[in-house]
Amino acid sequence: MNSKLNQDELLSLFLDNELDHDQLNEFLEELKANSTLKEKYKTYIEIDNAVNSLTQIYQRKRSSIFHILKYRAQKHSKIVSALAATIILSIGILSTNTIEFKSNNYLIADAVSSVEAQTQFELVNDELIQHVIYLTMSDLAMKNDLVNPNWLPVGFVRNPKKLNEFTNGDEAFAVHIEKNYINLDHPKYWVNDDDVIYLHPLKDGRLVSIVGNIRPDLANRVLISLDK
C-alpha cells in the first residue's frame, strides 16, 4: 500500500511514527541521502513545533485575559483544560442533544444521563463532532472578527482586549461565529460540570458557538439575543 505513497506522504507517516520497522529503516536511508527530502523534513518539524508553540501561547493568553478581568481565572483555565482533555469522554458519555431547549437545568442533567442521549450520540453528525473537538482543543478556532462590537448580552461586560469574551462576574464565555458549514439546523450543547459548549444556528446561515462556564439556559438566552 505504501508503495503508492510519494516521499512526502511517507515523510508525514515517518514523523508520526506510523511506518513499520522495515518501512522506517528504508525511509531513514532515503532521508539521509536525499537533500530535498531532508529540507522537507526540516519544514515539517518547524510546522509541528510552531503549532505546539501556538497551543502554549493560546493557553497562556486565555489564562492571562481572564486574570485581567478578575473573574474565576483559575476555574476557567481548569474548565478549558478539562474540556480539552475530556472532550472525547464528554462526547461519549456526557453528550446531549437539545432538540427544543427549555429553560430548566434539570432537564440537562436528565438528558446527559439518559439512554436516549447516549444513543443520540451515535447519530451525531461527524462534522459536528469535529467542530466541537476543535473548539475545545485550542483557541485557534475562536475567531472574534465576526462578533458585532456593539452587541452586548444583558448583564455582561466585554473583555476590552478580546471582543468575543464576556463575563457577568460569575460566568464567563467566549463566542465564536462562522458560516454554518456543518449545516446544523437546531441548537446542540455539551455539558461538563459547570461548563458548556453550545452551538446555535443563526437565521442568517451562520453558526454561533459559546464555550465557557455559563449555565445552558443563560447561554441559550444570549444566543437568542444574538439571533435577533
Partner 1 sequence: MKTSVDEALIHQIKDGDEDAFELMVIKYRPRILASLLRYTSSRELSEDLTQQTFLRVWEKIDTFKGNSALFTWIYSISINLARNYYVSSQGKKTSLTDSNENLENEVIDFKNPENQLLNNELLVKVNSCLKSMPIDLRTAYSLRVEEQMPYDEISKIMNVPIGTVRSRIFRAREILSKQIEDIL
Contacting residues toward partner 1, per CB under 8 A: 8-9, 12-21, 24-25, 28, 31-32, 38, 40-55, 57-58, 60-61, 64, 88, 126-127, 129-131, 133-134, 137-138, 140-141, 143, 181-182
> Cα torsion for 55, 86, 174, 156, to the nearest 10°?
-140
Orientation of helix 73-89 relative to helix 35-68, angle to 10°: 130
Q: How far is the CB of 94 from partner 1 (least distance, A)?
A: 16
CB nearer partner 1, residue 20 or residue 227: 20
CB nearer partner 1, residue 61 or residue 215: 61
Give 104's DSSP letter. Answer: -
CB nearer partner 1, residue 108 or residue 142: 142
Q: How far is the CB of 205 from partner 1 (least distance, A)?
A: 17
Integer Cα distance of 180 and 175 in angstroms: 14
Q: What is each CA distance from 32 to 3, 121, 160, in whole angstroms?
A: 19, 47, 51
CB nearer partner 1, residue 18 or residue 110: 18
CB nearer partner 1, residue 33 or residue 154: 33
Q: Taking the CA atoms of the chain, what radius of gyration do you get in angstroms?
A: 21
Q: How far is the CB of 144 from partner 1 (least distance, A)?
A: 11
Q: How far is the CB of 30 from partner 1 (least distance, A)?
A: 11
What does the buried/exposed string (b/e) look like for 69-101 if buried means 16 or more CB atoms within 10 Å of the residue's CB?
Answer: bebbbeebbebbebbeebbeebbeebbbbbeeb
Q: How far is the CB of 163 from partner 1 (least distance, A)?
A: 14
